[in-house]
Copies of this chain bind each other. A is one copy, B any other.
């Protein structure tokens, strides 16, 4: 066996290009990511991009899928380790404070959603990724006695993304504000009544 050193370095450079692309998409917007900008960020010559990737669109697609599948893969283990529904939702929304709607991860998600409406292949891959996530979330919700777990999981996932979106335009939308309201989605009214009191 023994992949040649050249091949190893090649794979490493390919990875740097993917990382650079994933950084640039949120910064300048999907269509504004250029071969030269990606190459410069990855510290390689401009021609290398089209050696490792068929086209810019292909590079962006692979970069986005890699990062998002990585980001989503974090949740299942976290969920399985958490005992109560409240605690888990708390964790989820605390993590949401890191994603303030202007950070690279949030924006990459949204850019990916938009790009998927114009790239059939990306649409299918993203669709599969999100479905896996919803299934994991739904089974976890079912274990904790939430009604209609599949539907709840779908709406909860959507709501979290919506909150990320709005947060960039509504600074008051901290997790402490969102959490009590979103908790109602899980269907237990008592924790809700206790948690609130001030506006």
A136 within 8 Å of B by Cβ? no
Whether the Cβ atoms of B165 and A165 lie closer than 8 Å is: yes
Nearest CB in chain B: distance from A59 CB, A = 16
Task: Using known A-B contacts A169-B130, A187-B184, determine if residue A111 contacts B114 with beta carbons closer than 8 Å.
Answer: yes
Q: Chain B residues near A165 (CB, 8 Å)?
A: 110, 113, 158, 161-162, 165
Q: Chain B residues near A114 (CB, 8 Å)?
A: 29, 107, 110-111, 114
Q: Chain B residues near A155 (CB, 8 Å)?
A: 159, 163, 178, 181-182
Whether the Cβ atoms of B117 and A148 lie closer than 8 Å is: no
Taking a contact as CB atoms closer than 8 A, the residue among B166, B168, B196 that contacts A117 in the complex is B168
Count the copies: 2
Q: Chain B residues near A160 (CB, 8 Å)?
A: 162
Task: Using known A-B contacts A117-B102, A162-B163, determine if residue A154 contacts B169 with beta carbons closer than 8 Å.
Answer: no
Complex-state Cα separation, A27 to B1, whole angstroms: 49
Whether the Cβ atoms of A158 and B154 lie closer than 8 Å is: no
A47 within 8 Å of B by Cβ? no
A2 within 8 Å of B by Cβ? no
Report the contact-size class of chain A (Cβ under 8 Å from the partner): 35 or more
Q: Chain B residues near A31 (CB, 8 Å)?
A: 28-32
Q: Chain B residues near A111 (CB, 8 Å)?
A: 114
Q: Chain B residues near A161 (CB, 8 Å)?
A: 162, 165-166
Taking a contact as CB atoms closer than 8 A, the residue among B102, B123, B150, B172 that contacts A199 in the complex is B150
Whether the Cβ atoms of A127 and B170 lie closer than 8 Å is: yes
Q: Chain B residues near A196 (CB, 8 Å)?
A: 147-148
For A7-51 the 0/1 string (1 means CB < 8 A from B) is 000000000000000000000111110000000000000000000
Which 9 pairs show the lowest CB-CB distances between chains A and B? A162-B162, A31-B31, A158-B162, A159-B159, A158-B166, A155-B181, A161-B162, A158-B163, A31-B32
